[in-house]
Amino acid sequence: MTEPTASSPELTEGDIVELTVGEVAHGGIFVARHDSGRVVFVSDALPGERVRAEISEVKKRFARAETLEVLDASSERLEHVWPEADVSRAPDDRPGGAEFGHTSVAFGRELKRRVLADALARFGGVEPEFEVSSLGNDDETRGTGWRTRVTLHVDDDGRVGPFAARSHRVVDVRSLPLAFPDIDELAQQIIAKGHRGPGRIDFVAPADFEVRMRARVKGASTRKPELLRERVGEREFAVSEDGFWQVHRLAAVTLYDAVQDAIDRSRFDVSAQHFDLFGGVGLLGAAVAELAGKDARVESVEDAKEATELALTNLAEWGGATAKTGRVDRYLHGLLDSGADALAAARAGTVVLDPPRSGAKADVTEPLAELAPAQIVYVACDPVALGRDTGLLRERGYELTRLRSYDLFPNTHHVEAVATFVRA
Protein backbone atom coordinates (compact mmCIF):
# COMPACT_ATOMS: atom_id res chain seq x y z
CA MET A 1 0.00 0.00 0.00
CA THR A 2 1.28 3.43 -0.90
CA GLU A 3 0.49 6.97 0.10
CA PRO A 4 -0.32 9.13 -2.98
CA THR A 5 1.83 12.22 -3.41
CA ALA A 6 1.49 15.44 -5.34
CA SER A 7 3.87 14.04 -7.97
CA SER A 8 1.77 10.88 -8.45
CA PRO A 9 -1.88 11.86 -8.01
CA GLU A 10 -3.32 8.96 -9.99
CA LEU A 11 -4.94 6.36 -7.78
CA THR A 12 -3.90 2.73 -7.74
CA GLU A 13 -5.35 -0.23 -5.92
CA GLY A 14 -4.08 -0.35 -2.34
CA ASP A 15 -3.52 3.40 -1.97
CA ILE A 16 -4.48 4.92 1.39
CA VAL A 17 -6.25 8.27 0.96
CA GLU A 18 -8.15 10.83 2.98
CA LEU A 19 -11.57 11.66 1.60
CA THR A 20 -14.37 14.08 2.40
CA VAL A 21 -17.60 12.17 1.92
CA GLY A 22 -20.53 13.60 -0.02
CA GLU A 23 -23.97 12.21 -0.72
CA VAL A 24 -25.19 8.63 -0.64
CA ALA A 25 -25.29 6.64 -3.88
CA HIS A 26 -27.21 3.57 -4.94
CA GLY A 27 -25.87 0.36 -3.43
CA GLY A 28 -25.11 1.58 0.09
CA ILE A 29 -21.99 3.52 -0.88
CA PHE A 30 -21.11 7.22 -0.69
CA VAL A 31 -19.65 9.66 -3.17
CA ALA A 32 -16.31 11.36 -2.55
CA ARG A 33 -13.83 13.07 -4.83
CA HIS A 34 -10.10 12.51 -4.58
CA ASP A 35 -7.61 15.36 -4.93
CA SER A 36 -6.81 14.01 -8.39
CA GLY A 37 -10.40 14.79 -9.40
CA ARG A 38 -11.46 11.16 -9.66
CA VAL A 39 -14.80 10.18 -8.15
CA VAL A 40 -14.42 7.60 -5.40
CA PHE A 41 -17.31 5.48 -4.13
CA VAL A 42 -16.55 4.73 -0.50
CA SER A 43 -18.30 2.26 1.78
CA ASP A 44 -18.93 2.37 5.56
CA ALA A 45 -19.10 6.18 5.58
CA LEU A 46 -21.76 8.88 6.03
CA PRO A 47 -22.32 12.24 4.34
CA GLY A 48 -20.04 14.99 5.61
CA GLU A 49 -17.46 12.71 7.19
CA ARG A 50 -13.73 12.84 6.69
CA VAL A 51 -12.35 9.33 6.42
CA ARG A 52 -9.14 7.47 5.81
CA ALA A 53 -9.82 4.83 3.17
CA GLU A 54 -8.11 2.15 1.11
CA ILE A 55 -8.62 2.10 -2.64
CA SER A 56 -9.97 -1.34 -3.53
CA GLU A 57 -10.67 -0.92 -7.25
CA VAL A 58 -9.79 1.60 -9.94
CA LYS A 59 -11.87 1.97 -13.09
CA LYS A 60 -11.55 4.37 -16.00
CA ARG A 61 -14.03 6.91 -14.59
CA PHE A 62 -14.13 6.13 -10.89
CA ALA A 63 -12.58 4.20 -8.02
CA ARG A 64 -13.91 2.28 -5.03
CA ALA A 65 -12.62 2.48 -1.48
CA GLU A 66 -13.22 0.96 1.94
CA THR A 67 -13.22 3.13 5.06
CA LEU A 68 -10.38 2.26 7.42
CA GLU A 69 -10.77 5.05 9.96
CA VAL A 70 -13.25 7.85 10.58
CA LEU A 71 -11.32 11.08 11.13
CA ASP A 72 -14.29 13.43 11.49
CA ALA A 73 -17.51 11.57 12.29
CA SER A 74 -21.03 12.56 11.35
CA SER A 75 -23.42 13.28 14.21
CA GLU A 76 -25.54 10.47 12.72
CA ARG A 77 -22.84 7.83 13.21
CA LEU A 78 -23.51 5.19 15.87
CA GLU A 79 -21.71 2.10 17.06
CA HIS A 80 -22.33 -0.50 14.37
CA VAL A 81 -25.32 -2.74 15.03
CA TRP A 82 -23.22 -5.71 13.83
CA PRO A 83 -19.81 -5.60 15.59
CA GLU A 84 -18.13 -7.74 12.95
CA ALA A 85 -19.07 -5.20 10.25
CA ASP A 86 -17.58 -2.21 12.09
CA VAL A 87 -14.77 -0.13 10.55
CA SER A 88 -12.47 -1.32 13.34
CA ARG A 89 -12.34 -4.66 11.53
CA ALA A 90 -10.26 -5.12 8.39
CA PRO A 91 -12.38 -4.47 5.28
CA ASP A 92 -11.79 -7.96 3.89
CA ASP A 93 -13.23 -9.47 7.08
CA ARG A 94 -16.40 -7.39 7.30
CA PRO A 95 -19.56 -9.32 6.44
CA GLY A 96 -21.95 -7.85 3.90
CA GLY A 97 -25.63 -7.17 4.37
CA ALA A 98 -25.66 -4.29 6.86
CA GLU A 99 -24.39 -1.34 4.83
CA PHE A 100 -26.23 1.24 6.96
CA GLY A 101 -25.70 -0.48 10.31
CA HIS A 102 -23.43 2.33 11.52
CA THR A 103 -26.31 4.82 11.80
CA SER A 104 -29.84 4.86 13.17
CA VAL A 105 -32.62 3.04 11.34
CA ALA A 106 -34.36 6.40 10.95
CA PHE A 107 -31.37 8.03 9.24
CA GLY A 108 -30.96 4.89 7.14
CA ARG A 109 -34.49 5.50 5.86
CA GLU A 110 -33.56 9.06 4.99
CA LEU A 111 -30.56 7.83 3.02
CA LYS A 112 -32.81 5.41 1.14
CA ARG A 113 -35.31 8.19 0.45
CA ARG A 114 -32.55 10.31 -1.10
CA VAL A 115 -31.43 7.46 -3.37
CA LEU A 116 -34.98 6.71 -4.52
CA ALA A 117 -35.82 10.39 -5.05
CA ASP A 118 -32.64 10.87 -7.09
CA ALA A 119 -33.37 7.84 -9.27
CA LEU A 120 -36.94 8.95 -9.96
CA ALA A 121 -35.79 12.46 -10.87
CA ARG A 122 -32.83 11.44 -13.04
CA PHE A 123 -34.32 8.45 -14.86
CA GLY A 124 -38.06 8.97 -14.49
CA GLY A 125 -38.34 12.74 -14.73
CA VAL A 126 -40.59 12.98 -11.66
CA GLU A 127 -40.12 14.44 -8.20
CA PRO A 128 -42.86 13.05 -5.92
CA GLU A 129 -42.92 13.87 -2.23
CA PHE A 130 -42.69 10.77 -0.05
CA GLU A 131 -41.13 9.30 3.05
CA VAL A 132 -39.82 5.80 3.72
CA SER A 133 -42.04 4.17 6.34
CA SER A 134 -40.76 1.89 9.08
CA LEU A 135 -42.29 -1.44 10.06
CA GLY A 136 -43.39 -2.45 13.54
CA ASN A 137 -40.90 -1.66 16.28
CA ASP A 138 -37.81 -1.58 14.06
CA ASP A 139 -36.79 1.82 15.40
CA GLU A 140 -36.84 0.53 18.97
CA THR A 141 -34.81 -2.59 18.12
CA ARG A 142 -32.42 -0.72 15.80
CA GLY A 143 -33.62 -2.93 12.99
CA THR A 144 -32.51 -6.24 14.47
CA GLY A 145 -34.20 -9.65 14.59
CA TRP A 146 -36.26 -9.22 11.41
CA ARG A 147 -34.70 -11.66 8.96
CA THR A 148 -36.79 -14.84 8.78
CA ARG A 149 -34.60 -16.25 6.00
CA VAL A 150 -30.82 -16.41 6.25
CA THR A 151 -28.20 -18.11 4.11
CA LEU A 152 -24.72 -18.92 5.39
CA HIS A 153 -21.95 -20.32 3.25
CA VAL A 154 -19.45 -23.13 3.77
CA ASP A 155 -15.95 -22.91 2.31
CA ASP A 156 -13.58 -25.72 1.35
CA ASP A 157 -12.18 -25.83 4.89
CA GLY A 158 -15.61 -26.28 6.50
CA ARG A 159 -15.78 -22.70 7.82
CA VAL A 160 -19.40 -21.48 8.08
CA GLY A 161 -20.42 -17.85 7.88
CA PRO A 162 -21.65 -15.04 5.68
CA PHE A 163 -19.72 -13.75 2.73
CA ALA A 164 -17.53 -10.71 3.17
CA ALA A 165 -19.01 -7.56 1.63
CA ARG A 166 -18.65 -7.54 -2.17
CA SER A 167 -16.93 -10.93 -2.03
CA HIS A 168 -17.53 -14.68 -2.08
CA ARG A 169 -15.14 -15.34 0.79
CA VAL A 170 -16.59 -16.75 4.01
CA VAL A 171 -15.80 -14.66 7.11
CA ASP A 172 -16.02 -15.53 10.80
CA VAL A 173 -18.83 -13.98 12.85
CA ARG A 174 -20.10 -14.50 16.38
CA SER A 175 -23.48 -12.88 15.83
CA LEU A 176 -26.21 -12.42 13.25
CA PRO A 177 -28.11 -9.48 14.75
CA LEU A 178 -30.47 -8.95 11.83
CA ALA A 179 -31.65 -12.57 11.98
CA PHE A 180 -34.71 -13.83 13.80
CA PRO A 181 -33.29 -14.74 17.25
CA ASP A 182 -33.95 -18.47 16.96
CA ILE A 183 -32.17 -18.54 13.61
CA ASP A 184 -29.21 -16.72 15.14
CA GLU A 185 -29.05 -19.23 18.01
CA LEU A 186 -29.11 -22.27 15.71
CA ALA A 187 -26.71 -20.67 13.23
CA GLN A 188 -24.15 -19.97 15.95
CA GLN A 189 -24.16 -23.66 16.88
CA ILE A 190 -23.44 -24.60 13.27
CA ILE A 191 -20.78 -21.90 12.93
CA ALA A 192 -19.01 -23.18 16.06
CA LYS A 193 -18.97 -26.80 14.84
CA GLY A 194 -18.25 -26.12 11.19
CA HIS A 195 -19.76 -28.14 8.35
CA ARG A 196 -18.53 -30.22 5.49
CA GLY A 197 -18.40 -28.17 2.32
CA PRO A 198 -18.26 -26.36 0.09
CA GLY A 199 -21.87 -25.33 -0.05
CA ARG A 200 -24.50 -23.31 1.76
CA ILE A 201 -26.88 -23.64 4.68
CA ASP A 202 -30.34 -22.09 4.53
CA PHE A 203 -32.35 -21.17 7.62
CA VAL A 204 -36.02 -20.20 7.59
CA ALA A 205 -38.46 -19.27 10.34
CA PRO A 206 -41.98 -19.25 8.86
CA ALA A 207 -45.22 -18.20 10.52
CA ASP A 208 -45.14 -21.12 12.98
CA PHE A 209 -41.79 -19.77 14.30
CA GLU A 210 -40.19 -23.23 14.07
CA VAL A 211 -36.76 -22.80 12.49
CA ARG A 212 -35.87 -25.10 9.60
CA MET A 213 -32.31 -25.70 8.43
CA ARG A 214 -31.29 -27.26 5.14
CA ALA A 215 -27.72 -27.74 3.91
CA ARG A 216 -26.71 -27.91 0.27
CA VAL A 217 -23.23 -29.35 -0.02
CA LYS A 218 -21.53 -29.71 -3.41
CA GLY A 219 -24.88 -29.15 -5.09
CA ALA A 220 -26.72 -31.85 -3.14
CA SER A 221 -29.37 -31.05 -0.52
CA THR A 222 -29.65 -32.89 2.78
CA ARG A 223 -33.40 -33.23 2.28
CA LYS A 224 -36.27 -32.11 0.08
CA PRO A 225 -37.66 -28.62 0.72
CA GLU A 226 -40.66 -28.55 3.03
CA LEU A 227 -43.99 -26.94 2.14
CA LEU A 228 -44.44 -24.05 4.55
CA ARG A 229 -47.51 -22.09 5.60
CA GLU A 230 -47.17 -18.33 5.83
CA ARG A 231 -49.85 -15.98 7.10
CA VAL A 232 -51.04 -12.53 6.10
CA GLY A 233 -53.71 -11.49 8.55
CA GLU A 234 -56.24 -14.31 8.55
CA ARG A 235 -55.16 -15.55 5.13
CA GLU A 236 -52.76 -18.47 4.68
CA PHE A 237 -50.29 -18.99 1.82
CA ALA A 238 -48.49 -22.19 0.85
CA VAL A 239 -44.81 -21.49 0.09
CA SER A 240 -41.95 -23.85 -0.74
CA GLU A 241 -39.12 -23.74 1.77
CA ASP A 242 -36.70 -22.72 -0.98
CA GLY A 243 -39.21 -20.51 -2.79
CA PHE A 244 -39.54 -16.74 -2.58
CA TRP A 245 -41.32 -15.11 0.33
CA GLN A 246 -40.74 -11.73 1.91
CA VAL A 247 -37.93 -11.84 4.48
CA HIS A 248 -39.11 -9.31 7.09
CA ARG A 249 -41.77 -10.75 9.39
CA LEU A 250 -44.10 -7.83 8.58
CA ALA A 251 -43.20 -7.36 4.92
CA ALA A 252 -45.86 -9.56 3.34
CA VAL A 253 -48.77 -7.94 5.17
CA THR A 254 -47.27 -4.50 4.55
CA LEU A 255 -47.14 -5.06 0.79
CA TYR A 256 -50.55 -6.75 0.74
CA ASP A 257 -52.11 -3.68 2.33
CA ALA A 258 -49.95 -1.29 0.30
CA VAL A 259 -51.12 -2.76 -3.01
CA GLN A 260 -54.75 -2.49 -1.98
CA ASP A 261 -54.19 1.12 -0.89
CA ALA A 262 -52.37 1.89 -4.16
CA ILE A 263 -55.29 0.80 -6.34
CA ASP A 264 -57.29 3.80 -7.55
CA ARG A 265 -60.83 2.68 -6.71
CA SER A 266 -62.32 5.09 -9.25
CA ARG A 267 -60.50 3.13 -11.96
CA PHE A 268 -61.04 -0.33 -10.47
CA ASP A 269 -63.64 -2.39 -12.35
CA VAL A 270 -64.42 -5.44 -10.20
CA SER A 271 -65.67 -7.37 -13.25
CA ALA A 272 -62.56 -6.72 -15.37
CA GLN A 273 -59.65 -9.10 -15.95
CA HIS A 274 -56.84 -8.24 -13.53
CA PHE A 275 -53.22 -9.42 -13.58
CA ASP A 276 -50.46 -10.18 -11.09
CA LEU A 277 -47.29 -10.17 -13.20
CA PHE A 278 -44.18 -11.79 -11.74
CA GLY A 279 -46.78 -13.12 -9.33
CA GLY A 280 -44.79 -15.66 -7.30
CA VAL A 281 -47.13 -17.69 -5.11
CA GLY A 282 -50.01 -15.24 -5.50
CA LEU A 283 -49.58 -12.90 -2.52
CA LEU A 284 -50.39 -9.70 -4.40
CA GLY A 285 -52.86 -11.40 -6.69
CA ALA A 286 -54.85 -12.26 -3.58
CA ALA A 287 -54.74 -8.60 -2.52
CA VAL A 288 -56.38 -7.62 -5.83
CA ALA A 289 -58.86 -10.50 -5.75
CA GLU A 290 -59.98 -9.61 -2.24
CA LEU A 291 -60.90 -6.12 -3.44
CA ALA A 292 -62.74 -7.45 -6.48
CA GLY A 293 -64.84 -9.95 -4.51
CA LYS A 294 -65.74 -13.60 -4.76
CA ASP A 295 -66.07 -13.54 -8.56
CA ALA A 296 -62.70 -11.86 -9.06
CA ARG A 297 -60.88 -12.55 -12.31
CA VAL A 298 -57.18 -12.40 -11.53
CA GLU A 299 -54.44 -14.13 -13.48
CA SER A 300 -51.00 -14.63 -11.91
CA VAL A 301 -48.05 -15.00 -14.28
CA GLU A 302 -44.72 -16.38 -13.09
CA ASP A 303 -41.90 -18.22 -14.86
CA ALA A 304 -41.24 -20.65 -11.97
CA LYS A 305 -43.57 -23.63 -12.37
CA GLU A 306 -43.59 -24.60 -8.69
CA ALA A 307 -44.58 -21.05 -7.69
CA THR A 308 -47.37 -21.05 -10.28
CA GLU A 309 -48.75 -24.31 -8.90
CA LEU A 310 -48.74 -22.84 -5.39
CA ALA A 311 -50.40 -19.67 -6.68
CA LEU A 312 -53.27 -21.80 -7.98
CA THR A 313 -53.66 -23.22 -4.48
CA ASN A 314 -53.39 -19.86 -2.77
CA LEU A 315 -55.94 -18.24 -5.10
CA ALA A 316 -58.36 -21.18 -5.13
CA GLU A 317 -61.11 -19.41 -3.15
CA TRP A 318 -61.76 -17.15 -6.15
CA GLY A 319 -63.37 -19.13 -8.95
CA GLY A 320 -62.13 -16.72 -11.59
CA ALA A 321 -58.52 -16.76 -10.46
CA THR A 322 -55.95 -18.48 -12.68
CA ALA A 323 -52.17 -18.85 -12.83
CA LYS A 324 -49.89 -19.30 -15.83
CA THR A 325 -46.25 -20.36 -16.04
CA GLY A 326 -44.15 -18.37 -18.46
CA ARG A 327 -42.10 -15.29 -19.15
CA VAL A 328 -44.08 -12.11 -18.58
CA ASP A 329 -42.96 -10.42 -21.80
CA ARG A 330 -44.03 -13.39 -23.91
CA TYR A 331 -47.28 -13.67 -22.00
CA LEU A 332 -48.12 -10.02 -22.71
CA HIS A 333 -47.38 -10.38 -26.43
CA GLY A 334 -49.69 -13.40 -26.49
CA LEU A 335 -52.37 -11.43 -24.68
CA LEU A 336 -52.18 -8.69 -27.31
CA ASP A 337 -53.08 -11.30 -29.92
CA SER A 338 -56.25 -12.28 -28.01
CA GLY A 339 -59.76 -11.68 -29.22
CA ALA A 340 -61.57 -8.37 -28.83
CA ASP A 341 -63.55 -9.44 -25.75
CA ALA A 342 -60.42 -10.61 -23.88
CA LEU A 343 -58.57 -7.41 -24.74
CA ALA A 344 -61.46 -5.24 -23.59
CA ALA A 345 -61.61 -7.05 -20.24
CA ALA A 346 -57.84 -6.71 -19.81
CA ARG A 347 -57.82 -3.01 -20.70
CA ALA A 348 -60.42 -2.36 -18.03
CA GLY A 349 -58.32 -4.23 -15.49
CA THR A 350 -55.64 -3.45 -12.94
CA VAL A 351 -52.12 -4.81 -13.33
CA VAL A 352 -49.85 -5.47 -10.37
CA LEU A 353 -46.26 -5.53 -11.58
CA ASP A 354 -43.70 -6.96 -9.14
CA PRO A 355 -40.54 -7.57 -11.18
CA PRO A 356 -37.17 -8.84 -9.92
CA ARG A 357 -34.45 -6.42 -8.84
CA SER A 358 -33.49 -5.73 -12.46
CA GLY A 359 -36.93 -4.25 -13.08
CA ALA A 360 -39.47 -4.70 -15.85
CA LYS A 361 -37.44 -3.05 -18.65
CA ALA A 362 -38.72 -2.23 -22.12
CA ASP A 363 -39.38 -5.92 -22.88
CA VAL A 364 -42.28 -5.74 -20.44
CA THR A 365 -43.25 -2.06 -20.34
CA GLU A 366 -43.74 -1.80 -24.11
CA PRO A 367 -46.33 -4.59 -24.52
CA LEU A 368 -47.88 -3.62 -21.19
CA ALA A 369 -48.39 -0.03 -22.35
CA GLU A 370 -49.79 -1.34 -25.63
CA LEU A 371 -52.26 -3.45 -23.68
CA ALA A 372 -53.21 -0.18 -21.90
CA PRO A 373 -54.75 -1.40 -18.61
CA ALA A 374 -56.68 1.10 -16.51
CA GLN A 375 -53.88 1.28 -13.97
CA ILE A 376 -50.55 -0.30 -13.09
CA VAL A 377 -49.44 -0.84 -9.51
CA TYR A 378 -45.68 -1.30 -9.62
CA VAL A 379 -43.97 -2.95 -6.62
CA ALA A 380 -40.27 -2.13 -6.80
CA CYS A 381 -37.28 -3.37 -4.83
CA ASP A 382 -34.65 -1.35 -6.70
CA PRO A 383 -34.66 2.47 -6.93
CA VAL A 384 -32.77 2.73 -10.22
CA ALA A 385 -34.94 0.09 -11.91
CA LEU A 386 -38.09 1.90 -10.77
CA GLY A 387 -36.71 5.22 -11.99
CA ARG A 388 -35.86 3.78 -15.40
CA ASP A 389 -39.20 2.00 -15.76
CA THR A 390 -41.04 5.14 -14.66
CA GLY A 391 -39.41 6.93 -17.57
CA LEU A 392 -40.36 4.14 -19.96
CA LEU A 393 -43.99 4.12 -18.82
CA ARG A 394 -44.23 7.91 -19.02
CA GLU A 395 -42.94 7.79 -22.60
CA ARG A 396 -45.81 5.45 -23.38
CA GLY A 397 -48.61 7.51 -21.92
CA TYR A 398 -48.68 6.63 -18.21
CA GLU A 399 -48.07 9.02 -15.32
CA LEU A 400 -47.04 8.36 -11.74
CA THR A 401 -49.94 9.41 -9.49
CA ARG A 402 -49.00 7.88 -6.14
CA LEU A 403 -45.85 6.62 -4.43
CA ARG A 404 -45.29 5.01 -1.05
CA SER A 405 -42.02 3.54 0.21
CA TYR A 406 -41.26 1.03 2.97
CA ASP A 407 -38.16 -0.01 4.88
CA LEU A 408 -38.51 -3.78 4.53
CA PHE A 409 -34.75 -4.28 5.00
CA PRO A 410 -33.49 -2.22 7.98
CA ASN A 411 -29.73 -1.60 8.21
CA THR A 412 -29.28 -2.48 4.54
CA HIS A 413 -29.40 -0.19 1.49
CA HIS A 414 -32.46 -1.98 0.08
CA VAL A 415 -35.80 -0.20 -0.04
CA GLU A 416 -39.25 -1.10 -1.35
CA ALA A 417 -41.66 1.20 -3.18
CA VAL A 418 -45.23 0.86 -4.42
CA ALA A 419 -46.14 3.19 -7.28
CA THR A 420 -49.42 3.74 -9.11
CA PHE A 421 -49.44 4.62 -12.82
CA VAL A 422 -52.51 5.65 -14.82
CA ARG A 423 -52.92 6.74 -18.40
CA ALA A 424 -52.41 10.49 -18.75
Query: In a structure prediction context, what are the per-residue pLDDT tens digits for the chain, which is 424 residues long?
Result: 444 444 346 899 999 999 999 999 999 999 999 988 899 999 999 999 999 999 999 998 899 999 999 999 999 999 999 999 999 999 999 999 999 999 999 999 999 999 999 999 999 999 999 999 999 999 999 999 999 999 999 999 999 999 999 899 999 999 999 999 999 999 999 999 999 889 999 999 999 999 999 999 887 777 899 999 999 999 999 999 999 999 999 999 999 999 999 999 999 999 999 999 999 999 999 999 999 999 999 999 999 999 999 999 999 999 999 999 999 999 999 999 998 999 999 999 999 999 999 999 999 999 999 999 999 999 999 999 999 999 999 999 999 999 999 999 999 999 999 999 999 8
pLDDT at residue number 37? 87
By three-state DSSP, how is residue 421 classified? strand
290 is in an annotated binding site: no
Parallel, antiparallel, or unpaired: how do β-strands 212-217 and 199-204 relate?
A: antiparallel
pLDDT at residue number 386? 98
Structural domain includes residue 124: yes
Q: Which of 184, 203, 230 is the last residue in one of the domains?
A: 230
pLDDT at residue number 220? 77
User: Any idea which residues carry the catalytic annotation?
Assistant: 381
pLDDT at residue number 206? 96
By three-state DSSP, how is residue 85 classified? helix
189 is in an annotated binding site: no
302 is in an annotated binding site: yes
95-130 burial, b at 16+ Cβ within 10 Å, e below that, comes to bbbbbbbbbbbbbbbebbbbbbbbbbeebbebebee
Q: Evaluate whether 91 touches 14 at the Cβ level (below 8 Å).
A: no
pLDDT at residue number 85? 97
Q: Are 300 and 391 found together in one domain? A: yes
Q: Peptide bond preceding 9: is omega within 30 degrees of 0, i.e. cis?
A: no
Q: Are 255 and 375 found together in one domain? A: yes
Q: Are 418 and 330 found together in one domain? A: yes
Structural domain includes residue 91: no
Q: Are 417 and 282 found together in one domain? A: yes
Long-range contacts of 345-348 (CB under 8 A, 24+ apart): 345/272, 345/273, 345/297, 346/272, 346/273, 346/275, 346/371, 346/373, 347/371, 347/372, 347/373, 347/374, 348/269, 348/271, 348/272, 348/273, 348/373, 348/374
Structural domain includes residue 57: yes
3 is in an annotated binding site: no
Q: Are 347 and 395 found together in one domain? A: yes
Which amino acid belongs to residue 143?
Answer: G
Distance CA 327, CA 329 (A): 6
Q: Are 131 and 208 found together in one domain? A: no
Q: Evaluate whether 202 touches 213 at the Cβ level (below 8 Å).
A: yes
pLDDT at residue number 217? 87
Q: Are 180 and 121 found together in one domain? A: no
Q: Which of 188, 203, 230 is the last residue in one of the domains?
A: 230
Structural domain includes residue 362: yes
Structural domain includes residue 23: yes
- Number of structural domains the chain divides into: 3
Structural domain includes residue 94: no
Q: Are 200 and 307 found together in one domain? A: no
pLDDT at residue number 9? 62
Q: How far is CA 307 from CA 136, 248, 312, 353, 422, in A?
A: 28, 20, 9, 16, 29
Question: What CATH number does the domain containing 290 carry?
Answer: 3.40.50.150
Distance CA 176, CA 179 (A): 6
The helix, strand and coil proportions of the chain, stated in percent and rounded to the nearest 5, come to 30, 30, 40
Question: What CATH number does the domain containing 41 carry?
Answer: 2.40.50.140
Which domain range does residue 355 map to?
Answer: 112-139+248-423
Q: Are 192 and 283 found together in one domain? A: no
Structural domain includes residue 303: yes
Q: Are 200 and 265 found together in one domain? A: no
Burial classification of residue 348, based on how many CB atoms lie within 10 Å of its CB (0-12 exposed, 13-18 middle, 19 or more buried):
middle
Q: Are 226 and 174 found together in one domain? A: yes
Q: Are 209 and 301 found together in one domain? A: no
Q: Evaluate whether 239 touches 276 at the Cβ level (below 8 Å).
A: no
Structural domain includes residue 240: no
Which of 393, 404, 312 lies closest to 360, judged by CA?
393
